[in-house]
Amino acid sequence: MATTAGSGHFGPILPLGAALLRAGHTVEVAAPRSFVAAVERAGYPYRLCEDIPPEEYQAAHERRLANVATLGHAAAAEIFAHLAPRAMFPGVLDAIDSWRPDLVLREVGELSSHLAAVLRGVPQAQVMLGLSAFDDLLLPAIVPYADRLRSETGLPPDPDGSAFAAVPSLSQLPLSYEDPSAPGHPEMRRFRAVSAAPAALPAWWPAADLPLVYVTFGSVAPVVPFASAALRTVVSSLADLPVRLLVTVGDAGSVDGFPAEAHVERWVPQRDVLAAASVMVCHGGMGTVLGGLAAGVPMVVVPQFADQPENASRVAALGAGLRVGDFGMVAEAPPPDPAAVRSAVLRVLEEPPFREAAGRVAAEIHALPTADEMVPELEGLAVRV
C-alpha cells in the first residue's frame, strides 16, 4: 500500500489492508518519513520514502496561498502532483524492486506509486478519497506535472489523464452521495468498512439525557490558524445551549480557549461518539462526513478548505444536514457567522427529516459489500500482468 503523509489519505485504504491481512496476505506500506509513526500505530511494516524538502514545501505553500484565488486547484497541484511524488518516487521504486509485490494498492492522492507500478509492470488499484467530482476538478491541474514525471521515467505521455482513469478504483462513498453530474466511473467498486461495536462514553456530564452535540474539525484543520479560530467560534456559539457539548481537536490542536461548557478532548473514538450523538458539527473532511453518514447522524458542516465545500453541499443536497458558509476558491474561508451556526444546529436537532435522511444514507452504506468481500477482486487484479 502507498500513502502520502495524511490521516485523511491513509484512512481510506486501511479497511482493505486489514481485510487482506485477514485473508492471509502480506501487506507493507510505503510512506513518507514524517508519517512513519502513523503507519506503525496502524500495525504495518513500512518502506521508508522521503518527504518534500522543507524549504521547497514552504516556497510552494507560499505560492499557493498567494495565487489560489486566480489559479484555483492548480495552486495546490505543485505540492501534491509534483513535489510530493518526486520526493517519494525513489523509495517507492526501491520497495517494488526489492520486494516485488503482487499488487500496489494506493490512495488516489499518492502519484509516485502509480508511476512506479506502471514502470515495473505491477498491477495496481486506487482507493478514492472523496467525491469523483472533486477528482475531476483536480485532474487538469495534476496531468501536466504527472506527464513531466512520466517523461523523466521513460513512460509515454498521458495528456488527458486516461492512464489514471484506467486504474481500477474503489470507494467507500455510496452512489447517492456522489454529485449526479459526476458520479464516477460506472465500474468503480464501492465497499464499506466494518468497525468494532461502539463503547459507552465516559460520564463527562451530569445530565446524560441532554442531546449530545459533537464538534470536530478533524486532525488537520485545528492546526490551521483560520480554521482553528473558526472552530472556537463554532463552539462558543453553542456553549449556552441545553446540550452535552463534546469537542475534539486532534493530537496537535490546542485544548485552550474553549468555553467552560464544552468538554474538550484530543481524541475520542469516532464510532463511540457517533453512536450517542444527536448532531455533528464538522468542517466537511471526507472521513468525518462519511463516519457521520454511516452512523446515520445528521450534521452541520462549516467548510474550511480543499474538498470541504463540495462535501458540505452534498450533505445539504441529501437532506442529511445543513451547510453554513458560502465561499469559492479563496486562500481561506471567511469566519463563520455564530448566529447562523447556532440556528443550523437548532434546526437539525429539532427537525426529524434531517435524521431520517441521514438514516437513509446509512442504510445505503450498510448495504455495500464489506472490505473483506473486496479481497477476491484485489486477488484477481494481482494476477493480471
Q: pLDDT (tens digit, 9 = 90+) per residue, 109-137? A: 999 999 999 999 999 999 999 999 887 77
CA–CA dist 243, 54 (Å, integer): 44
Residue 274, C-beta contacts closer than 8 angstroms, at least 6 positions apart: 198, 214, 280, 291, 292, 295, 297
Task: Mark residue 218 as left, alpha or beta (left: phi above 0; alpha: psi -120 to 50; beta: remaining).
Answer: left
Question: What is the share, in percent, of the chain residues with pLDDT greater than 70?
Answer: 96
The pLDDT of residue 73: 62
The pLDDT of residue 70: 56
CA–CA dist 68, 47 (Å, integer): 34
Domains of the chain from N-terminus onward = 7-192+369-382 (3.40.50.2000), 212-366 (3.40.50.2000)
Which candidate, 123, 81, 97, places its Cα nearest to that of 30?
97
Which parts of the chain fold into alpha helices (H)? Answer: 7-10, 14-22, 36-42, 54-71, 74-77, 84-99, 112-120, 132-152, 162-165, 225-238, 270-274, 286-294, 308-317, 338-350, 352-366, 371-382
Q: pLDDT (tens digit, 9 = 90+) per residue, 331-381? A: 678 899 999 999 999 999 999 999 999 999 999 999 999 999 999 999 999
DSSP code at position 351: -
The pLDDT of residue 78: 85
Give the side-chain half-sphere CA count within 13 A for 357: 19
The pLDDT of residue 72: 58
- The residue ranges of the chain whose pLDDT is under 50 are 385
The pLDDT of residue 320: 98
Q: Do residues 197 and 230 make contact, with C-beta atoms less than 8 angstroms apart?
A: no
Residue 356, C-beta contacts closer than 8 angstroms, at least 6 positions apart: none
